[in-house]
Amino acid sequence: MKFKKIAGLFSIGVVCMIFSGQVNAESIDELFENLKKYIDQEQYTSAMEELQWMRRELDKLHFEKVKSYFPDELLSLKGEETKSQTVLGFTNMSRVYSGDGNNIDVALTGGASMAGGMAALLQMVNALGGQENSTTFRLDGRTATLVDDPDGSASLSVMLKSGSLLTFEAKGLDDSDLLTQAAGAFPVAALDDYLAGR
């Protein structure tokens, strides 16, 4: 009897998971309809509140879209769970790829919309490029800086045209060629075009 109850609850949970995506998809349309209704009725306070809810839903959709550019596999390395956090207005999304003794951390850093803070990021890139152990080159038409750290690690930073910074880091692994290949296999241009609204 207890097993049947647990099985029933599990079935309900599965159904909720299946339809949750549809609810989210419909909610954005409902919010648009509510916004238009409030504007037509000149209820601007309610319209602004609806607009804030729309922004939350759009942020979720935007997050999932950006997340989709991080492939599940990179140079035969398997990707772990994609992580994201926002600190002081900067959003960082990262995914670790590992396999065959290699470990590469790919991270995207930008403003609240993943396309801001260009001045601060440019300063970071310029600082990297000024190091003796660094090499600057072009990657998909974007400025990239490869740094070989004295501790035996290597990192590669790509300044996106949208204003965000994309980094590839191999801790404890001084393999510049592997990082360059990983950056070349990553959809850098496609991600940058999306962030720039193109």
Considering 26-40, 71-85, 122-136, the range whose residues carry the highest mean pLDDT is: 71-85
Beta bridge partners of 138: 143
**pLDDT confidence of residue 59:** 85
Average pLDDT in the 11-40 region?
62
- In this structure, the number of other CB atoms found within 10 A of the CB of residue 16 comes to 10
pLDDT above 70 covers what percent of the chain? Answer: 72
Cα→Cα distances 137→129, 130, 154, 169, 174, Å: 10, 13, 15, 17, 18
**pLDDT confidence of residue 10:** 35
CA gap 181, 197 in Å, rounded: 27
The mean pLDDT value of the chain amounts to 78
Using an 8 Å Cβ cutoff, are 131 and 139 in contact?
Answer: no
Average pLDDT in the 93-116 region?
82
φ, ψ (nearest 5 deg) of residue 148:
-100, 110
